[in-house]
């Protein structure tokens, strides 16, 4: 299988949409049934073969670093008390040996493109994956599907895509493409517009939070000026390369940056647990 060696997680956002839940707890650590949202993103990256995980975080969100740090004292206590299942659950969440964890800080909230650019000094060679943890995708691991579909000879980027209702286009990056309603797995687009007004939207095919980008996109980011919302947008950097490919993934996406999305995802994970199946079909080798 083709793999993606570096996956970037932009986690610096302050999660204001989820206040007061996010007043103290980073939104990425909110639970989806029994597991922090971020854990799903990490497992998805590992399933795509990632060897380095780069977290673009914020000093106010040190709980994310604490979550990723091994906790021998906790493990020792669980072991001493014979709480084997819990011990196993804690150990299953640790990043495996041989996978680097890198933290870098995005002090100023200058946009998703800026966050991804902050990761540039830390990425390994080859195409880089980006996972926005609050877009939870259950079912077939999306980044792995994208790693397999990404053709470096032909593409500078591959972006997970799904159709959204016409009145929701202004919340997304929208592809300018023919056949937005079709079923082809990958689709070349002419353009890519960040958060257009419904009247200006070139289609209703929207980007969701999974990207595979080549070094050419990182290069374009160095020249990308502030765009929609006054922020540096990854959408604009990708559009500037002229090589834009949308990818129709097979899993189900939950917008866990919204309260209802977290509830829907929680019910889906609860149902999977009851049937004893892995919600991220990660075990489906």
Could you list the residues that contact ligand G1P (CB under 6 A)?
112, 132, 135, 172-173, 194, 206-209, 233, 235
Tokens for 219?
């290069």
In the block, residue with structure tokens 């990256």: 45
The smaller minimum CB distance to ligand G1P, of residues 36 and 173, is found at 173
Shortest distance, position 5 Cβ to ligand G1P, whole Å: 23
CA of residue 176 relative to chain centroid, distance: 22
Shortest distance, position 161 Cβ to ligand G1P, whole Å: 9
d(CA 152, CA 171): 29
The answer to whether the beta carbons of residues 137 and 253 sit under 8 Å apart is: yes
Residue ranges of E strands in 29-169: 31-32, 35-36, 52-57, 100-105, 128-131, 135-138, 157-163
The smaller minimum CB distance to ligand G1P, of residues 78 and 136, is found at 136
Shortest distance, position 201 Cβ to ligand G1P, whole Å: 12
Shortest distance, position 207 Cβ to ligand G1P, whole Å: 4
Shortest distance, position 151 Cβ to ligand G1P, whole Å: 22
The smaller minimum CB distance to ligand G1P, of residues 64 and 169, is found at 169
The smaller minimum CB distance to ligand G1P, of residues 15 and 173, is found at 173
Residue nearest to ligand G1P (CB): 173
Residue ranges of the alpha helices (H) in 110-203?
112-118, 142-149
List all residues 6 or more positions away from 222 whose beta carbon is below 8 Å from its beta carbon.
117
The smaller minimum CB distance to ligand G1P, of residues 57 and 235, is found at 235
């Amino acid at each position: 299988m083709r793999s993606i060696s570096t996956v970037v997680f932009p986690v610096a956002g302050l999660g204001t949409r989820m206040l007061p839940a996010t007043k103290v707890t980073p939104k990425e650590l909110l639970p989806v049934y029994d597991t922090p949202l971020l854990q799903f993103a990490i497992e998805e990256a590992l399933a795509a073969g990632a060897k380095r995980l780069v977290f673009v975080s914020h000093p106010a969100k040190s709980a994310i670093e604490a979550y990723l740090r091994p906790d021998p004292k906790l493990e020792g206590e669980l072991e001493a008390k014979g709480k084997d299942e819990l011990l196993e659950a804690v150990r299953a969440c640790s990043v495996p040996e041989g996978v680097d964890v890198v933290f870098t800080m995005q002090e100023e909230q200058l946009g998703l493109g800026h966050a991804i650019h902050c990761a540039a000094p830390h990425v390994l060679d080859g195409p880089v994956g980006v996972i926005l943890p609050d877009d939870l995708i259950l079912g077939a691991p999306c980044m792995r599907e994208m790693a397999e579909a990404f053709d470096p000879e032909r593409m500078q980027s591959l972006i997970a895509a799904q159709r959204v209702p016409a009145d929701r286009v202004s919340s997304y990056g929208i592809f300018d493409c023919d056949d937005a309603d079709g079923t082809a797995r990958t689709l070349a687009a002419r353009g890519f517009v960040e958060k257009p007004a419904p009247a200006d939207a070139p289609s209703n095919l929207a980007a969701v939070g999974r990207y595979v980008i080549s070094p050419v996109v990182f290069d374009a980011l160095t020249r990308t000026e502030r765009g929609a919302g006054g922020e540096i947008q990854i959408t604009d950097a990708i559009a500037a390369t002229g090589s834009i490919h949308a990818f129709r993934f097979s899993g189900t996406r939950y917008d866990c940056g919204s309260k209802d999305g977290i509830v829907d995802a929680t019910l889906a994970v609860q149902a999977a647990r009851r049937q004893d199946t892995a919600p991220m079909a990660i075990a489906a080798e």
